[in-house]
Structure 1
Amino acid sequence: MSILRPGDEKFHISDGSHRWIPPDPAYDQEVWDEQVRQHMHGHLRNERPKVRIQRLA
Protein backbone atom coordinates (compact mmCIF):
# COMPACT_ATOMS: atom_id res chain seq x y z
CA MET A 1 0.00 0.00 0.00
CA SER A 2 1.34 3.42 -0.83
CA ILE A 3 1.97 6.15 1.71
CA LEU A 4 0.18 9.49 1.41
CA ARG A 5 2.42 12.38 2.31
CA PRO A 6 1.20 15.88 3.23
CA GLY A 7 0.05 17.59 0.04
CA ASP A 8 -0.82 14.35 -1.76
CA GLU A 9 -4.54 14.89 -1.16
CA LYS A 10 -4.84 17.14 -4.22
CA PHE A 11 -3.83 14.23 -6.46
CA HIS A 12 -6.55 11.89 -5.16
CA ILE A 13 -10.34 11.82 -5.24
CA SER A 14 -12.50 10.49 -2.41
CA ASP A 15 -12.25 6.83 -3.47
CA GLY A 16 -8.43 6.99 -3.38
CA SER A 17 -7.94 6.92 -7.15
CA HIS A 18 -5.85 9.54 -8.92
CA ARG A 19 -7.25 12.81 -10.19
CA TRP A 20 -6.40 13.13 -13.89
CA ILE A 21 -8.05 16.51 -14.39
CA PRO A 22 -6.76 19.45 -12.35
CA PRO A 23 -9.09 20.67 -9.59
CA ASP A 24 -8.90 24.21 -11.02
CA PRO A 25 -10.17 24.38 -14.65
CA ALA A 26 -7.75 27.26 -15.36
CA TYR A 27 -4.74 25.08 -14.42
CA ASP A 28 -2.52 23.96 -17.33
CA GLN A 29 -3.36 20.30 -18.12
CA GLU A 30 0.18 19.49 -19.32
CA VAL A 31 1.68 20.80 -16.08
CA TRP A 32 -0.89 18.82 -14.09
CA ASP A 33 -0.12 15.64 -16.07
CA GLU A 34 3.58 15.97 -15.22
CA GLN A 35 2.82 16.60 -11.54
CA VAL A 36 0.58 13.52 -11.40
CA ARG A 37 3.27 11.47 -13.16
CA GLN A 38 5.86 12.53 -10.59
CA HIS A 39 3.39 11.91 -7.77
CA MET A 40 2.70 8.38 -9.03
CA HIS A 41 6.43 7.73 -9.35
CA GLY A 42 6.68 8.68 -5.67
CA HIS A 43 4.11 5.97 -4.89
CA LEU A 44 6.23 3.41 -6.71
CA ARG A 45 9.39 4.37 -4.81
CA ASN A 46 7.57 3.96 -1.48
CA GLU A 47 5.57 0.85 -2.35
CA ARG A 48 6.43 -2.48 -0.77
CA PRO A 49 5.77 -5.74 -2.61
CA LYS A 50 2.27 -7.03 -1.89
CA VAL A 51 3.24 -10.68 -2.41
CA ARG A 52 6.31 -12.31 -0.97
CA ILE A 53 7.86 -14.79 -3.39
CA GLN A 54 9.11 -18.00 -1.82
CA ARG A 55 11.39 -20.44 -3.55
CA LEU A 56 10.26 -24.02 -3.57
CA ALA A 57 13.05 -26.52 -3.00
Structure 2
Amino acid sequence: MSILRRGDEKFHYSDGSHRWVPPDPDDDQEAWAEQVRQHKYGHLRNERPKVRLQRLV
Protein backbone atom coordinates (compact mmCIF):
# COMPACT_ATOMS: atom_id res chain seq x y z
CA MET A 1 0.00 0.00 0.00
CA SER A 2 1.32 3.45 -0.93
CA ILE A 3 0.60 6.69 0.85
CA LEU A 4 0.22 9.68 -1.47
CA ARG A 5 -1.01 13.16 -0.81
CA ARG A 6 -3.04 15.16 -3.30
CA GLY A 7 -0.66 16.86 -5.74
CA ASP A 8 2.23 14.47 -5.04
CA GLU A 9 1.66 12.34 -8.11
CA LYS A 10 4.50 14.01 -10.03
CA PHE A 11 7.00 12.89 -7.37
CA HIS A 12 5.98 9.20 -7.40
CA TYR A 13 5.96 6.28 -9.80
CA SER A 14 2.87 4.06 -9.88
CA ASP A 15 4.47 1.71 -7.33
CA GLY A 16 4.81 4.56 -4.81
CA SER A 17 8.58 4.94 -5.13
CA HIS A 18 10.06 8.40 -5.60
CA ARG A 19 10.82 9.71 -9.07
CA TRP A 20 14.41 11.00 -9.02
CA VAL A 21 14.49 11.67 -12.77
CA PRO A 22 12.54 14.76 -13.85
CA PRO A 23 9.41 14.04 -15.91
CA ASP A 24 10.63 16.45 -18.61
CA PRO A 25 14.13 15.54 -19.85
CA ASP A 26 14.85 19.25 -20.44
CA ASP A 27 14.35 20.09 -16.74
CA ASP A 28 17.35 20.72 -14.51
CA GLN A 29 18.25 17.45 -12.72
CA GLU A 30 19.73 19.20 -9.67
CA ALA A 31 16.67 21.40 -9.19
CA TRP A 32 14.36 18.39 -9.57
CA ALA A 33 16.39 16.34 -7.07
CA GLU A 34 16.10 19.19 -4.54
CA GLN A 35 12.32 19.29 -5.04
CA VAL A 36 12.15 15.52 -4.42
CA ARG A 37 14.29 15.89 -1.26
CA GLN A 38 11.95 18.61 0.02
CA HIS A 39 8.97 16.43 -0.85
CA LYS A 40 10.45 13.48 1.07
CA TYR A 41 11.15 15.78 4.02
CA GLY A 42 7.44 16.65 3.93
CA HIS A 43 6.68 12.93 4.37
CA LEU A 44 8.89 12.88 7.46
CA ARG A 45 7.24 16.00 8.91
CA ASN A 46 3.85 14.48 8.14
CA GLU A 47 2.59 17.59 6.36
CA ARG A 48 -0.98 17.76 5.11
CA PRO A 49 -3.49 14.95 5.53
CA LYS A 50 -2.62 11.71 3.77
CA VAL A 51 -4.74 9.70 1.38
CA ARG A 52 -4.16 5.97 1.34
CA LEU A 53 -4.23 4.32 -2.06
CA GLN A 54 -4.28 0.57 -2.39
CA ARG A 55 -2.98 -0.87 -5.61
CA LEU A 56 -4.79 -3.98 -6.78
CA VAL A 57 -2.57 -6.63 -8.27
Same fold (TM over 0.5): yes
Greater RCO (Cα-Cα under 8 Å, separation 6 or more): 2
Percent same amino acid among aligned pairs? 80
In structure 2, the gaps of 5 or more residues are 48-57
Counterparts of 2:11 and 2:40, CA distance in 1: 9
Match of 2:24 in 1: 24
Counterparts of 2:4 and 2:12, CA distance in 1: 10
- Give the RMSD, CA atoms, in angstroms: 2.2
Q: CA deviation at 1:19?
A: 0.2
Counterparts of 2:6 and 2:15, CA distance in 1: 18
Q: Which runs of 4+ in 1 moved over 4 A?
A: none
In structure 1, the gaps of 5 or more residues are 48-57
Name the structure where strand makes up a greater proportion of residues. Answer: 2
Matches within 5 A, 1:35-54: 35-46=35-46
Question: 1:11 and 1:34, CA in 2 relative to 1: closer, same or farther beyond 3 A?
Answer: same
TM-score for both structures, normalised by structure 2? 0.72
Tell me which structure has the larger Cα radius of gyration. 1
TM-score for both structures, normalised by structure 1? 0.72
